[in-house]
Amino acid sequence: MKEQKNFSASGNEQGIGVTREFGKCCGRRKNRGLQKGAWLGFAMAICCTLLFSIRASAGDVTMQNKKWVSGQRYSYTDVNKDGELEEQDHGIGCYKIKITKPGYIRVEVKTSPIPGAKGYVSRGTSVRVLDSRKKEIYDDPNVYAEKRDFDVALKKGIYYLEIDTNKKYQMRYTFTATGKIKGKKPAVTASKASLLPAGKTVKGALYWDSYVPYYKIEVPKKKKVTISFNGKINGEIGIQILAFKGKEFRTINKKGKMDGKDSLSWWDFIGRGKNKVSGKLAEGTYYICLVDFSGRGQYYTMKWK
């Protein structure tokens, strides 16, 4: 069991689930000010357009599923013929991908030093997933790893993979379709959660902009409760068990004890693969809450007994 202190949880379901001119005499001065503002706005618009063009110049390149792309943002050449290498910036790599149905992608990245670039400062590699408006969905934190992969759950739509590095890189994504989630969706608050019978398997999906799902369970007598969870994505999902105390909503630890107002208990933090977590519960009504801590989302199946 893991606990987080100093969170106020009383009476707030969503707080538990942790889970951007005046007069004619001034006319000439006013006009000059407007002209100056117009020129300034025009200049800023041009600058923003140029910056956006540089940033998105590779956005027209569409990546294909499972196909590697390669490139480098910087090159190092002796432009002045003085024996010194000058760094030349060719822009951030930004690649368009099209997701035709719900699923998830696994992004793989490999980097290597640029041949002949002796003495240049090696920097980390930033890899981000962007939505159709190029707003960040996920930023991979492993900036200094030369080889890495990560998963992100995605809905149907257009996305971009952006890579910023001063090394040579290779990158690809592999898409796995999961299909639509059948049956009733989990509730977004505990008070609206429908009953999940013991032994019944449910399938769910969490996205980067997803709600916190709640499942209601009824424990008929004091017993050890086991939750079986199978995640498809290597992202961290926190599992909580909660119950109402009057009008207050509290977490329950694995010994079956109700936490205080300023404490939160987590039964486990799980990722890809099959996992089981158990704890003791007295007779009563409880709620299973799933919280995505990774920002990658999750596709999962779950049952309890």
What CA–CA distance (Å, rounded) separates 47 from 202?
Answer: 51
**Distance (Å, whole) CA 22 – CA 175:** 62
Pick 172 or 39 by higher pLDDT: 172
Q: Please indicate whether residue 180 or residue 118 has the higher confidence score (pLDDT).
A: 180
Could you give phi then psi for residue 133, rounded to 5 degrees? -95, 10
Residue 80 one-letter amino acid: N
Q: What is the 3-class SS of 272-289, one letter each residue?
A: CEEEEEEEEECCEEEEEE
Question: Mean of the per-residue pLDDT values for the chain?
Answer: 80
User: Lowest-confidence range among 84-93, 158-167, 239-248?
Assistant: 84-93
- According to the model, what pLDDT value does residue 77 have? 79
Predicted pLDDT at 116: 65
pLDDT at 191: 84
Query: In whole angstroms, how far apart are CA 74 and each of 8, 52, 166, 242?
Result: 48, 18, 5, 52
pLDDT of 154 above 90:
yes
